Structure formats: C-alpha cells, structure tokens
Structure 1
Amino acid sequence: MRYIIIGAGAVGGAIGGRLAESGNDVVLVARGAHYRALREGGLRLVTPQGARTHHLPVADRPGAVDLRADDVLVLAVKTQDSVAALDAWAPRPVAGTGATAGEVLPLVCAQNGVEGERLALRRFRRVYGMCVWLPALFLEPGVVAADCAPLTGILHIGLFPSGTDETAHRISRDLEKAPFEAPVVADVMRWKYAKLLSNLGNSIQAVCGSAGSAEHAELVARVVAEGRAVLAAAGIETAGDREQQDARGHKADTQPLEGHPRRGGSSWQSLSRGTGTIEADYLNGEMVLLGRLHGVPTPVNATLQRVADTFARERRGAGSMPVGELVALVDANAAQ
C-alpha cells in the first residue's frame, strides 16, 4: 500500500515520516512554505532517538498525485480544513479502476474530534476513524517533532461508524512496524469520544498557557465534567479512564527533546503560528452542539469556544490571557 498524507504537519508528518522509515511508500501533501521546504530539503523528523531527514515525494494539490488502487489516504488536516480537502480529493480518478477516490479508496481520519469522519462519509464510501494519541510539534517549515518513546504514539483504528476489515489490519501492521501501537477496534468512535473529552481543555491551554495553577486545573475539571454530562445525556459511550491508561501504559511516554521544549498542544500551536483558525468549534463546539440537542447547558464549553475563536480570528498571542480572566468569563456565562 502507498500512504498519501493529506496535511503533513505535526501529526501527519510524524506518521508519514515513521511509515517511510519502516519501508513504506509515502507521499506528503502540504501547502505554502511547508510544501516548499519539504520539496527542497525533505522532511526532518526529530524524535527522542535523534533527527532524520526523509526525501519523499511531496505534492501541494490533488492534481499533482496520480492515484493508484493501492493508495490509502490519511486525512491529517485540522477539522476546520477538512471540507476543502475532502472536496478536492474525493472526485480524483483512480488509475485502472474507472472510479473516483471517493468511490474506491480508503480514507483514514487522523484527527481530533469526531466530526471529520462524518464529513468524510458524505464524500468517501470507505472511511476509517483513528484515535490519535501522538504528541507532535510543527517546529518550522520542513521540520516536525514527535517526542514519545519507545513508541511514537498510540493510534486506535477501525471502520466508521463501526467494525473492522482487512484493510484496517493491514494499516495497523504497517503502523506497528513504524513503530506505533495501532490496535484495530470495532468501536473506534468510543475511543475518539474519550479523546475528545481530554481535548476539551485545549482551548484553556491555548489562550492561558500551560497548566500549573490550581485555578487552571479546576477549570479543566469543570469543562471535562460538563462534557461527560453532555455525552451521558446523548447516550454516547466512551472508553473509560482505566481502559485508556491500560492501553497507553508506558509504551509512549513523552521525552524531552534537546533544543525543542514542549510548550503546548495543537490548539496552542495554531495560535502561536497565527493561522487564523483553531479547532475549538469541533472540540468545545461539539459539546455545545450536543448540549443544545439534548437539553444540557454548556456554559464552560461555550465560553471556551467563543474565546478561542476570538483569539484565532484576531491573531492574539497564545497564552496571553490570565486564567483568572477566563474563569471570570465562564462564571459570568454560567450565571446568565
């Protein structure tokens, strides 16, 4: 199989680089300065084992790739960029099949949140969910870091909305050689909803900076508790905390990377890079949506969504709001 990584940023670059290291055929898809750096100098992947540069085929648009019947598309863009990517790739012809990518190729959603799979299934017949536990950093154009060891990350994979098949097992085998832990599960969305709960605090870190205060920890606990209440009302089951701990164990622990201190997760990185967008609509916003559908108030998630979106739109600095100010906004919303 050949892997086409649509969105070769932090997560996509780490997955693509590791797959290439283990002997897989990989094509990276990126835009702008990152595309130019990948094309001219290759992908530099920094890990606890050191840094390696991979000179891989790279494209900046679907038309630059001749799709084959053995291709696997890995969607690793942020959810807010999914529709544009899916609309561009789904109608592309696949050589020798007389069909389009959306009709015959498997597409794996390696993304936070749970909306990517729903968007993909409107356009692709064969969609796979991937629960991504893979701390990674976009350092600069052409350079990404993945700071876990001994395994690079844990990537549960399964058919969307449920089930497994041989393709999922083949992808898993390739990932486990890379090396990732890649369990094939029939209930992948159960794992993705559990990961969604853990991502609800991303907006807090993005606008207020890294944890450290009791006030910060309390606000994270509040947003997760609100998320749990919403999922319970919606009848959505998640993988339990103990189940997740057992799956993770010490297989993929974060390690310090010399010269590259970790400062924040994906939402923090979006603000720090000034991209103008952030995932909050599909993390906190998912809970707001479900809360409105099922009659559960969501003042914490709604406030975090609004503030994070404002920070992204106005390109305000990551970590520039005191956590006490954010708590006051949450409390004011809750009191209405």
Structure 2
Amino acid sequence: MKLNEQLKKMTKKQKMGVFTVSIAILLVGSFGYKVYADDQKAQEQARIARIEKEKLKNDTETAVNDLFEKAIIDNDDAKKIAIKNDLQSETVKNVKEKYFVTKTKDAWQININNMIDNAENQLQQIDIAKKAVEQVYKEKVLNTDQKKYDVAKKEVDKIKNAKAKKELSDKLAKVKSEIEKKNKEKEDKKKESGKVSQQTPEAKATTDNVAQTTDGAEQQVADVTGQQTDQAQQQTPQAGAGQETGYYEPQTPVTDNGTGSNQNVAPTAPANNGNAGGTQTPAPPAPEPTPEPIQPAGPPAGWINPPFPIGSGELMDWIADNGYGGYDSSDGYIRPY
C-alpha cells in the first residue's frame, strides 16, 4: 500500500504521532552529527599543535647545535664541546631571545637553556682572556712582568675553542721569549760580577783592596799624615838652632894648659870680613830640600777602586747586586752608599 493511502486511512491522532516521531529522529540525528563534528575538529587541532611543537623542538635543537663545533644536545661530552669558530655574541643573543624559556620545569627545555648559557659563557671567557693578553701584548710586547703574564696564561688556558686559544697563545709566546731573554741577561751579569775576584790576579787584588780599605784605610791615612808631619818638623828651622840671623857664634875651643886638664878659652869676636887676612864667618848650612810627600798606599777611607769603568751600566749593576743604592766618584775611586 502506498504511503499516501496509508496516511489517508490514519486518524488525525495517529498522524500527529507519526509527525512527532519524525521530528525526534531528525533532532537526534542533528545533535549526534554536531558532537561528531566537534570531536573531529578537536582532534585536528591537537594534531596541528603536535606538529607545531615538534617543529619548534627541531628548530630549537638545530639553532642551539649550530652554536657549537658539533651537535651538543643529548651529547655525553657536552661540557667539553667548544663553540664554533668566530661565533658572534649577536648570534647567541638572538638564539637566547627566541628559544630560552625561563621558569620551566620541562627537562628538555632546561637542557636547552643550559646549552645556550654554555655558549654565552665561552664567549665571555674569550673576551676576558683577550683583555688579559692586552696587558702584556698588543701588536708588540708591552710588558714583561711575570705576574701579568701568568694571569693572561691562566685565562687563555680556560678557552675551549682551539682557534681563539691558539691566536692568544701565540702572542703570549712572544712575551715569554722576552721574559726569558731578560732573565738570562740579568743572570749573566750576576755571574760576570761574581767572577771579578776569581778570574785574574788583578781582579783578585781589587777585591782584596776593597776589604783592606774598609778595615784599615783609616790607619793608612793616619800613618801617612804622621810621616808628613815629622818631615815638615825636620825641615822647619827651630828658633836659635841653626836659623840664619846675620850673626854666627863659633864653638868655644878646648885647649890643654899643660896641667893635664882642659880649660875653656874665652871666645874672640869675629874679625871684619872686609879685612885681609882676617877670620871669615862661615856661611850657615843650606836647608835640605823638602822631600815629596808620600802618597797613600791605596784609596782614602771608605773609597775603593771600581771593578768596572765609572759611569758604565756594568758598574751600576755591580752596585745594585752588592746591596748599594749608588756611589760617589773622585780621582778614579768610588765610595758606594
């Protein structure tokens, strides 16, 4: 029977029931379809989110690994891996701004943060080492201070990148060469100074003279001064004792009076020198020539014969090596002080 004929035979009440059931079926179907569609949409969004997250992870690891000479993520030797050659601080800054996440508990993200910090710290160490090297070398050797060299060497040794480390180490090698050269020159001067009293008799005599002058130079000067004083006294005529005054007193002659005893005879006045046949007054004896003063046997007290020419650098080194601060010089002698 056709549907139309069946509907004609149905009562109005029956027709209302059929209509109600149809509406209900349509509503249930529509609701079920909506639930299904929403579920599909959610699944798609989740899938897209997973893809985007995976892509972000891959991009992050690629960017971080690219800061180093080889892949560092999940590498057991991560602490030993150096940054790539000529890495710029601007590159590290950009990676940090894009992929560094603060206040995270995700283990993977924490590892990423540590690797970015690693690259940043290595760049900072290179900069510290460069500044330390510039204290002793910049286009040429500027300073041969051993302490400054040691500080620079210590900072350069901390660098992991081989290229940066070699560039700075080559500069330090030139500084070290200059330090060793100056130390050798100083050592040679000390050895040369120590051989002065051992190589030749003349050098030995110079050293002995220094010691003798220190201990007995005062006595030498006193002896010489005494000798000169005695000679001066001998050369100076005493009053009434041989000094020429214009009158000569002859010695009283002693005669034998025939009794076996001597008797003094009164002196007679000298005859006029102008009378012929008269007794002439003998001329007084000529004074003896003044002898040349005896020169001191060696330098004055506190003065020595210099082991090196006065004013030379070798003499200044000798003065410093023997604990003196300087010296005075006179007549070829020096007096260290």
From the two aligned structures, give the one with the greater helix fraction. 2
From the two aligned structures, give the one with the greater strand fraction. 1
Higher relative contact order (CA closer than 8 Å, sequence separation 6+): 1
Do Structure 1 and Structure 2 share a fold, with TM-score over 0.5? no
Q: TM-score, normalised by structure 1?
A: 0.17
Larger Rg: 2
Q: TM-score, normalised by structure 2?
A: 0.17
